[in-house]
Amino acid sequence: MRLRRKGNPTAPATRRPRRGPRAVLAALLLAALPAASAPALSAAGPSLSFAPHSAAARLHPGDVGLLRNASSTNWAGYAAHSTTYTSVTATWREPSASCGSGTSYASFWTGLDGYNSGSVEQTGTLVECVNGSPHQFSWYEMYPAAPVYFSSTLVAGDTMTATVSATSTGAFTLFLKDSTRGWSHTIHQTNSSLARSSAEVIAEAPSSSSGVLPLANFGTVSFSGAGVDGGTLAASNSTEINMVTSSGTTKASCSGISGGTAFSCTWHHS
């Protein structure tokens, strides 16, 4: 999912049946090139997009010209974006959602690119609220291609680990593991033209052709073991990103990084 910086929504994908019961769900901005032998892929899933961080977010300069804080209409989390990156990883406990009568979404993932580029190579999970009930999905995407969903069972409370890595020649490996259920998926994709200009650990409000979709009330998601290029997340000089509405109301905020590898993000507004 590409991070939409405030004020410049990214064009969303076309709606199609997606990781959730919503009959016609907005196309997920998560772009994923179909793998020739991708394991346990699901034909059904919400048609949403996990988009890049939007280009017009409010950014707050930090030391040595690096951005330490930013706000976005669709991302919350941390992004390193000062060099070329080869890997990012994190573990989290899959949140549920407190669902109202409307349809809403929240996604959790790690990925390369998307903070300051038009592509995102990512894998993670999604919770979708439909008719008052939460539904969980797992996926990978190589945006701007469409997301691909896995058919493996995912339940709130499961311990998830997502890792995305790449070589200098553009060979990408996207790995997603559910330690609670005992399943994992490894996807290989190749694209030598991608910038690998950022590495991020994100909670996202997915998007559709109409813009950023309502953010499901996921409570708090806690990330641990977060690392970039073999080091800790804190050592990557990453930027903290908080999610806001177009008028500046906070949708989700994140804590500081603890122990170099752990932080949490909390829902405030849809």
Q: What is the pLDDT of residues 207-230, one digit of tens each?
A: 888 889 999 999 999 999 999 999
Is 30 contained in some domain?
Answer: no
Q: Coil, strand or helix: which one is 104? A: strand
Q: Which residue segment(s) compose the domain that 201 sits in?
A: 41-267
Burial of 192 (0-12, 13-18, 19+ CB in 10 A): exposed
Position with higher pLDDT, 51 vs 199: 199
Is 21 contained in some domain?
Answer: no
Is 36 contained in some domain?
Answer: no
Q: Which residue shows structure tokens 């073999």?
A: 230
Is the pLDDT at 92 greater than 90, yes or no?
Answer: yes
Position with higher pLDDT, 56 vs 181: 181
Number of C-alpha atoms within 13 angstroms, CB side, residue 88?
28
Number of C-alpha atoms within 13 angstroms, CB side, residue 144?
8
Is 22 contained in some domain?
Answer: no
The pLDDT value given to residue 54 = 52
Cα angle 135-141-146, degrees, rounded to a multiple of 5 = 85
Q: Which residue shows structure tokens 């439909």?
A: 130
The pLDDT value given to residue 225 = 98
**% of the chain at pLDDT higher than 70:** 75
Mean pLDDT of 92-116: 96
**pLDDT band for position 63 (cuts 50, 70, 90):** very low
- Structural domain tally of the chain? 1
Position with higher pLDDT, 4 vs 163: 163
Is 29 contained in some domain?
Answer: no
Mean pLDDT of 74-85: 96
The pLDDT value given to residue 98 = 97
243 membership: H or E segment, kind and range? strand 239-244
Specify whether the CB–CB gap between 50 and 114 falls below 8 A.
no
Specify whether the CB–CB gap between 112 and 195 falls below 8 A.
no
Position with higher pLDDT, 56 vs 81: 81
Q: What is the pLDDT of residues 192-203, one digit of tens each?
A: 999 999 999 999
The pLDDT value given to residue 80 = 96
Alpha-carbon separation of residue 100 from 94, 107, 130, 268, 270 (angstroms): 19, 17, 8, 14, 11
- Whose CA is closest to 253, among 262, 261, 238, 264? 264
How far is residue 50's CA from residue 24's CA, in Å, rounded to a whole number? 17
Position with higher pLDDT, 32 vs 171: 171
The domain that contains 80 carries what CATH number?
Answer: 2.60.120.700
Is 168 contained in some domain?
Answer: yes
Residues found in the chain: 270
How many CB atoms sit inside 10 A of residue 101's CB? 7
Q: What is the pLDDT of residues 228-267, one digit of tens each?
A: 999 999 999 999 999 999 899 999 999 999 999 999 999 9
- Whose CA is closest to 197, among 91, 68, 53? 53
Mean pLDDT computed over every residue of the chain = 82
**pLDDT band for position 8 (cuts 50, 70, 90):** very low
Which DSSP string do the residues of 57-95 spell out, in sequence order?
--EEE-GGG-EEEEEESSEEEEEE-SS---EEEEEEEPP
Q: Token pair for residue 9?
A: 């929504």
Q: Token pair for residue 54?
A: 């939007």
Is 226 contained in some domain?
Answer: yes
The pLDDT value given to residue 100 = 92
Is 116 contained in some domain?
Answer: yes
- Strand 67-72 relative to strand 239-244: parallel, antiparallel, unpaired? parallel
Position with higher pLDDT, 268 vs 10: 268
Mean pLDDT of 84-110: 97
Is the pLDDT at 139 greater than 80, yes or no?
Answer: yes
CB proximity list for 266: less than 8 A, separation 6 or greater: 219, 220, 252, 253, 254, 255
Q: Token pair for residue 265?
A: 């993000």
Q: What is the pLDDT of residues 31-47, one digit of tens each?
A: 332 233 334 544 356 67
Least confident range of 34-48, 126-140, 166-180 = 34-48
Q: Residue 68: what residue type? A: R
Mean pLDDT of 161-180: 98
